[in-house]
Chain A
Amino acid sequence: MPYVPHTPEDIRRMLDVIGAPSVESLFDEIGPEMRPKRFDLPEGQSEMDVLAHMEALAAKNVSGQVSFLGAGFYDHHIPAAVDALSMRSEFYTAYTPYQPEASQGTLQAIFEYQTAVTRLTGLPYANASLYDGGTALFEAAMMSVRHTGRRKLVVCEAVSPIYRVMLNSYTSNLHLELVTIPHKNGVCDLAALTAALDADTAAVIVQNPNFFGAVSDFSNLFASARAAGVVSIISVYPVLQSVLKTPGEMAADVAVAEGQSLGLPLSFGGPYLGIMTCNKALVRQMPGRVVGRTVDGQGRTGYVLTLQAREQHIRRQKATSNICSNQALCALRALLYLCLVGQEGLTRTANLCLERAHYAAERLTAIPGVARLSGSAPFGNEFAITLPVNAYQVIDKLTSRGVVPGFPLGRYYAGLENALLVACTEKTSMESIGIFAEMLRGSL
């Protein structure tokens, strides 16, 4: 039997020591009324056969298209060394570092990850990571609720609709009020967001670039929030954080991000990485694991899980969150990515994304009937265009010809059925942008 090393002789010896007549007798406490009614599973297969089966399934997924699909999840280059190093078994076959002396590798890597993400967001504190950008945003909202004792969350409609539906699900039993402030042609309505802040508001939640790709400066909004005792929460795109004004520079209180773009494959939705950073006033409200630096008995530097008294295994129902694990291996990959590309490489990557996206916007809006949804508003690596036809119509036509043109905004926004969200990364070639533009022109 694969992976079980015991020979019949081993089993005999073990049963003798236990004093049990048979292996089955060890299960005697499971009474007949609790036994399975059936257990109808396929027979096992050889490694070769399972691999062949999985390769056949992988091949059923159509690959090789040129894709402009992003919507918060992007296809970036992953340096080969990210795979090689994260596949070292000392990292990936370890558990949560409960025994710090035997886990300094994992602990120092998480400490370095915490450092790297705080440098990206410009806020001083970080945790060891959360499941994904959406759960990170929910946890940030709960931090604000605990910190302020208030129960209203003001959310910009241009925050990813995927995260907003998650917020809805999670807050539905918690007696929290979610107030959504409509976007204006894909741009955050800063005046309306500011006007919505009141003495019951726990947090204002925005995203930069927002779901439509538009880039804003939220400094004034956050200043108004601070004056009203409201926590400022911003979700960002880490790759662009190498060039865009940081949450720290805007004086946000909490910055979260989906870390997938930092060395993690798209992998059909996960595993991803929830990045969480915050300022000092909120650090004890942070959920999940946190690594801190300290010394051993001989004064040598070492790393430990810290601030654990907030966590579920100690506080039980009074914990800041029910989270047990982080996404350690994903955090490691993000750190590896950031170290391998380095300051210059990440800046170049961001600039390439911007350059390609701006070129694409120029090419696409040169087509009669195609315009930018947000007019001349600044944008990052992604932008929304309006088409003379329903976006699904274009998607159907172009995907069958090998180009995935983007995301149909009507999927989440009523009234935007003709709008398409188009993303570029450093992997998007100028040539493929030209092909897309010509194909779109031909399809209209």
Chain B
Amino acid sequence: MVPNDLKYAKSHEWTKIEGDTATIGITQFAQEQLGDLTFVDLPKVGAVLTAGAEMGSVESVKAASELYAPVSGTVAEVNAALENAPEAVNQDPYGAGWMLKVKLSAVPADLLDAAAYADVCAAEAH
């Protein structure tokens, strides 16, 4: 399940670009690999993100993974609901499980489209 209207980073974050704003989350494949999330650690509003750099982390019972910014920009909004309900990322990674809205400063050229990202997932699954 890889929506066509999104762009993807190889590190399994998705981003939806609308004008100068990007919404960011992690993919269905990523949440499946991580299992039930217990905590999502996100940057605060106003934080400056650099594409490819660490921006936060997610934890499950037996694992913790870093999140990497798929784009560069300034955090404009954080999904506060995840603080008490990280399971939203598992249940609806592209919808209610969104993480950040970012005011864009740059979009890297190497973001993947749905087909290319599906190939990445297929390769990693083996």
Q: In the complex they form, do A and B come into direct contact, defined as C-beta atoms under 8 angstroms apart?
A: yes
Which residues from 160 to 180 on chain A have a C-beta closer than 8 Å to any C-beta of chain B?
none
Q: Does A26 count as interface, using CB distance less than 8 angstroms? A: no
Cβ-defined partner of B39 (8 Å) among A284, A315, A318: A284
How many whole Å from B3's CB to the nearest CB in chain A?
28
Which residues from 77 to 127 on chain A have a C-beta closer than 8 Å to any C-beta of chain B?
none
How many whole Å from A283's CB to the nearest CB in chain B?
11
Give Cα distance in the complex from A163 to B62, angstroms.
34
User: Number of A-B pairs whose CB atoms are under 8 Å?
Assistant: 19
**CB neighbours of A284 from chain B (8 A):** 39, 41
Give Cα distance in the complex from A308 to B62, angstroms.
7
Q: Does A309 count as interface, using CB distance less than 8 angstroms? A: yes
Q: Does B60 count as interface, using CB distance less than 8 angstroms? A: yes
Q: Does B125 count as interface, using CB distance less than 8 angstroms? A: no
Q: Does A34 count as interface, using CB distance less than 8 angstroms? A: no
Which residues from 208 to 232 on chain A have a C-beta closer than 8 Å to any C-beta of chain B?
none
Q: Does A62 count as interface, using CB distance less than 8 angstroms? A: no
Majority-rule SS of B interface residues:
strand
Cβ-defined partner of B61 (8 Å) among A309, A315, A318: A309
Interface bits B41-56 vs A (CB < 8 Å: 1, else 0): 1000000000000000
Give Cα distance in the complex from A315 to B57, angstroms.
12
Q: Does A310 count as interface, using CB distance less than 8 angstroms? A: yes
Q: Does A17 count as interface, using CB distance less than 8 angstroms? A: no
Q: Does A41 count as interface, using CB distance less than 8 angstroms? A: no
**CB neighbours of B62 from chain A (8 A):** 308-309, 314
Give Cα distance in the complex from A198 to B50, angstroms.
28
Q: Does B63 count as interface, using CB distance less than 8 angstroms? A: yes
Give Cα distance in the complex from A145 to B41, angstroms.
17
Interface bits A276-297 vs B (CB < 8 Å: 1, else 0): 0000000010000000000000
**CB neighbours of A309 from chain B (8 A):** 38-39, 59-64
Interface bits A345-367 vs B (CB < 8 Å: 1, else 0): 00000000000000000000000
> A interface, how many residues as a size bin?
under 10
Interface bits A191-213 vs B (CB < 8 Å: 1, else 0): 00000000000000000000000
**CB neighbours of A318 from chain B (8 A):** 64
**In this complex, what residue of A is CB-closest to B38?**
A309
How many whole Å from A298's CB to the nearest CB in chain B?
20
How many whole Å from B71's CB to the nearest CB in chain A?
23
Interface bits B13-52 vs A (CB < 8 Å: 1, else 0): 0000000000000000000000000110100000000000
Which residues from 258 to 317 on chain A have a C-beta closer than 8 Å to any C-beta of chain B?
284, 308-310, 314-315
Give Cα distance in the complex from A318 to B64, angstroms.
10
**In this complex, what residue of B is CB-closest to A284?**
B39
**CB neighbours of B38 from chain A (8 A):** 309
Give Cα distance in the complex from A318 to B61, angstroms.
16
Give Cα distance in the complex from A284 to B42, angstroms.
13
How many whole Å from A260's CB to the nearest CB in chain B?
34
**CB neighbours of B39 from chain A (8 A):** 284, 309
How many whole Å from B34's CB to the nearest CB in chain A?
10
Give Cα distance in the complex from A310 to B64, angstroms.
8
Give Cα distance in the complex from A315 to B63, angstroms.
8
Give Cα distance in the complex from A318 to B60, angstroms.
15
How many whole Å from B57's CB to the nearest CB in chain A?
9
How many whole Å from B52's CB to the nearest CB in chain A?
18
Give Cα distance in the complex from A144 to B81, angstroms.
25
**CB neighbours of A308 from chain B (8 A):** 61-62
**In this complex, what residue of A is CB-closest to B39?**
A284
Give Cα distance in the complex from A308 to B38, angstroms.
11
How many whole Å from A299's CB to the nearest CB in chain B?
18
Q: Which of A284, A309, A310, A318 has the most CB of B within 10 A?
A: A309
How many whole Å from A318's CB to the nearest CB in chain B?
8
Give Cα distance in the complex from A309 to B58, angstroms.
9
How many whole Å from B124's CB to the nearest CB in chain A?
20
How many whole Å from B122's CB to the nearest CB in chain A?
27
How many whole Å from B36's CB to the nearest CB in chain A?
12
How many whole Å from B87's CB to the nearest CB in chain A?
15
Give Cα distance in the complex from A368 to B117, angstroms.
86
**CB neighbours of B61 from chain A (8 A):** 308-309
**CB neighbours of A314 from chain B (8 A):** 62-64
Give Cα distance in the complex from A314 to B57, angstroms.
14
Give Cα distance in the complex from A310 to B65, angstroms.
11
How many whole Å from B79's CB to the nearest CB in chain A?
18
**CB neighbours of B63 from chain A (8 A):** 309, 314
Interface bits A364-398 vs B (CB < 8 Å: 1, else 0): 00000000000000000000000000000000000
**In this complex, what residue of B is CB-closest to A311?**
B64
Give Cα distance in the complex from A284 to B63, angstroms.
15
Q: Which of A310, A314, A318 has the most CB of B within 10 A?
A: A314
Q: Which B residues are within 8 Å of any A CB, using their own CB?
A: 38-39, 41, 59-64
Given A284-B41, A309-B59, 7 other A-B residues pairs in contact with their CB atoms under 8 A: A308-B61, A309-B38, A309-B62, A309-B63, A310-B59, A314-B64, A318-B64
Q: Which A residues are within 8 Å of any B CB, using their own CB?
A: 284, 308-310, 314-315, 318
Instruction: Pull 6 A–B residue pairs with CB atoms less than 8 Å apart, ordered by A.
Output: A308-B62, A309-B39, A309-B59, A309-B60, A310-B64, A315-B64
Query: What are the nearest 6 A-B pairs in CB distance?
Result: A309-B59, A309-B64, A315-B64, A314-B64, A309-B63, A314-B63
